[in-house]
Structure 1
Amino acid sequence: MSASNLPKKELFELPEGVIYLDGNSLGCLPKGVVDRASETIEREWGGQLIRAWNSADWISLPRRVGDRIARLVGAAEGSIATGDTLSIKVYQAVAAALKMRPGRKVVLSDSGNFPTDLYMVRGLLQTLDGGHELRTPEPEQVADSIDESVAAVLLTQVDYRTGRTHDMAEITRRAHEAGAVMIWDLAHSAGALPVDLAGCGTEFAVGCTYKYLNGGPGAPAFIYVRPDIVSGVEPALAGWMGHDAPFAMELFYRPAMSTERLRVGTPPIVQLAILDEALNVWEGVRLEDIRKASIELSELFIAEVERRCPQLTLASPRDAGKRGSQVSFAFENGYAAMQALIDRGVIGDFRAPNIMRFGLTPLYLDNGDIMSAAEVIEEVISEELYRDPKYNVRSRVT
């Protein structure tokens, strides 16, 4: 791999005999995380009890972690709040955007967006009961669908099924030309490719940290607000921790004078500590190097799988510049084939109706991993090992 400081396998707990191609769904466990979690639980919580909010500085941990994420997504210090879940952050961003454009009734997304984003928007619009509408054109039609009726545009930069990318700068420009508020979901972007939130001028961005940022299952989400508009953002969820002075115990909400106003409940300290430790693997890593290595890995993977397995159809864009850090193939027996792969130590995942997804994470993958994975995929497909009945039993998580 051309990036001299990649991969960083020595920084991760990688199971023997496993090639992990699912970092786009759940990242690997970084070394040091278990010790940090134990310290937070045993020494801080166990030894200091409630005093740890001050003595271990738990109270500022959400902000400190937010600033570390900011450096990975091209945002200024103080512009990212952490905590809660991605669904909650989507709700907050869309609700705030609608208040910023009270005369408009349309939220624009696309038909390929992650379902929970659309669920949250529909739930919000039903609650508002103000005649609002969610429009979901095909991804390729989004830019031309932005007009003066649109209050907010909500898009996931990298499609969760295929890895297809939206042009963040261009669509943000189109949204602003039409007077709409822009919201980006970075679930499959943060830690996978360079992002320039400040440069593109988007009002809001949201994201999760358990994928490419390796924060662990249920890791806290984050929300970005452009600094020049934050004082005018009205939180739909006015939580205690978003108050300007939480311990003044005032009866009425007075929002913090920063992005902290979009914090809601008590921060998940153990999970934030884990995420804080996990972010250490990014020290000295440039996102440009990550992107270059990701493209090299994905191009090799596509070439090898297509050469060995003509039964699979590339579902991701052929152009690497229009693809995130994952490669997807369509296959009629995709679910069973993925179970057979996992049984042989090559871990990807499946998304209905027929998509086999493979995440390419240069922090802990190299060319040798890709070649070995391609060999196993060839074995499973060419020998039709997926026809074993045990691989057709559907689990709740695919």
Structure 2
Amino acid sequence: DEVLAMGATSSNLFRLAVAALRRQPERRKIVSDEFNFPSDLYIFQGIIDLLGQQHRLELVRSGDTITIDPQALDAAIDQDTALVSLTHVAFKSAFMHNMAQVTEMAHRSGALMLWDLSHSVGAVPVDLNGCNVDLAIGCTYKYLNGGPGSPAFLYVRRDLQQQLMQPMWGWFAAENPFAFDLEFSPAEDISRFRVGTPPMLSMKAIEPAVDILLEAGMERLRAKSVQQTDYLIALAEAWLEPLGFTVGSPRQSDLRGSHVSLRHPEAYRLNRALIEAEPPAPKVIPDFRAPDNIRLGVTPLYTTFTEIYRALERIRTITTERIYEQYSTERLAVT
């Protein structure tokens, strides 16, 4: 009764952020950081424009391009802050905020806390109730294995549900949808954050994926994830750092999610060489993230240590044999 699977991550963020800002209209600041997913920041910028440029967005900067200093966050959150919104695990570096600590910072100043769990859910244990989180959003197509088009989700803490009013007053958000009243009367529970008919096929497809994760257990998955990302970093230090790579993720496991970024000046062409390999060369499918990150996602439910070894071995081969020079620097639409 606190979670809805529905819509897209961005539209869910829009609804919850507007509701949070309207709850305390005298407060004019949104606090985030430079590691937040750009789409989230675009949503905030659009909301500020929609609400007449009466709010401002303040971004806390990183001192090392990998982590965010919690003291810098704390200093940015003040009595004018209506909303603090962060990505729990950063999409580039995999830096993981201390959820309980940052949420307490927001509450100490009277702000609401909204977490984006897109790179967390299914990869690291998340205790929203235990951390007293107000609001959260996320997707199911990453570590929840929902695949393209799978529904996003939102979370609203139970005691806040009647205090917040989202801006999209859809049919399913009504107290009694099948009364077909001409005047909107919102539901008193989490349903007031619904909009229209959910995508039933996508909703059904996510069930077995979540069931498998629940059967495996998040604590066990997290333990394997830490072992595998530690192993990946160890191989990178031994094999790739002598070739000009740097590890762009925290080495301390409690500050890291379940992916690792490797940085190199030729990251884009290296990434293409990994993905576009012709048989019998092995194909590895990471992501390129500008300006110089190769992002390797570790999904402990099915990623093996052997696959990690072979992926790092292939990166070493492409680099030492300069295979990446066969590829153009022209950026494709999707990287």
Task: Give the shorter-chain TM-score range.
Answer: over 0.9
Distance 1:320 1:395, change over 3 A: same
Question: Is the Cα contact below 8 Å between 2:31 and 2:83 reproduced in 1?
Answer: yes
Between the two proteins, what is the percent identity of the paired residues? Answer: 39
Of 287, 291, 296, which aligns to 2:218? 287
Question: Is the Cα contact below 8 Å between 1:107 and 1:133 reproduced in 2?
Answer: yes
Name the SS of the counterpart of 1:265 in structure 2: coil
Cα deviations across residues 342-383 of structure 1 (Å, max 9, x unaligned)? 223111110111110001111001211111112111111111
Question: Which residue number corresponds to residue 266 of structure 1?
Answer: 197
Equivalent residues in 2 for 1:204-353, closer than 5 Å: 204-310=135-241, 311-342=244-275, 343=277, 344-353=282-291
Pairing 1:91–2:14 present: yes
Of 299, 302, 310, which aligns to 1:361? 299
Equivalent residues in 2 for 1:33-112, closer than 5 Å: 78-112=1-35
Cα deviations across residues 170-229 of structure 1 (Å, max 9, x unaligned)? 000010010000100001010010100001111100001000001111211111000111
Question: Is the Cα contact below 8 Å between 1:309 and 1:382 reproduced in 2?
Answer: no
Cα deviations across residues 150-169 of structure 1 (Å, max 9, x unaligned)? 00000000000110111110
Higher relative CO (Cα under 8 Å, sequence separation at least 6) belongs to: 1
Of 108, 120, 125, which aligns to 2:43? 120
Shift of 1:101: 1.2
| Aligned equivalents of 1:269, 1:395: Cα separation in 2 | 33
Pairing 1:395–2:332 present: yes
Question: Is the Cα contact below 8 Å between 2:230 and 2:251 reproduced in 1?
Answer: no
Shift of 1:392: 3.4
Shift of 1:144: 2.1
Question: Which residue number corresponds to residue 169 of structure 1?
Answer: 100
Shift of 1:393: 4.3
Shift of 1:143: 2.4
- Stretches of structure 1 that go unaligned for 5 or more consecutive residues are 1-77
2:3 partner amino acid: I
| Aligned equivalents of 2:214, 2:122: Cα separation in 1 | 12
Question: Which residue number corresponds to residue 380 of structure 1?
Answer: 318
Mean CA deviation greater in 227-236 or 355-364: 227-236
Shift of 1:237: 1.1
Name the SS of the counterpart of 1:363 in structure 2: coil
| Aligned equivalents of 1:168, 1:204: Cα separation in 2 | 12
Cα deviations across residues 111-156 of structure 1 (Å, max 9, x unaligned)? 1211110100110111111511111121322222111110000000
Question: Is the Cα contact below 8 Å between 2:161 and 2:188 reproduced in 1?
Answer: yes
Name the SS of the counterpart of 2:130 in structure 1: helix
- Stretches of structure 2 that go unaligned for 5 or more consecutive residues are 62-67
Give the structure with the larger helix fraction.
Answer: 1
Question: Is the Cα contact below 8 Å between 2:236 and 2:247 reproduced in 1?
Answer: no
Instruction: Return structure 1 stretches of 4+ with deviation > 2 angstroms.
Output: 391-394
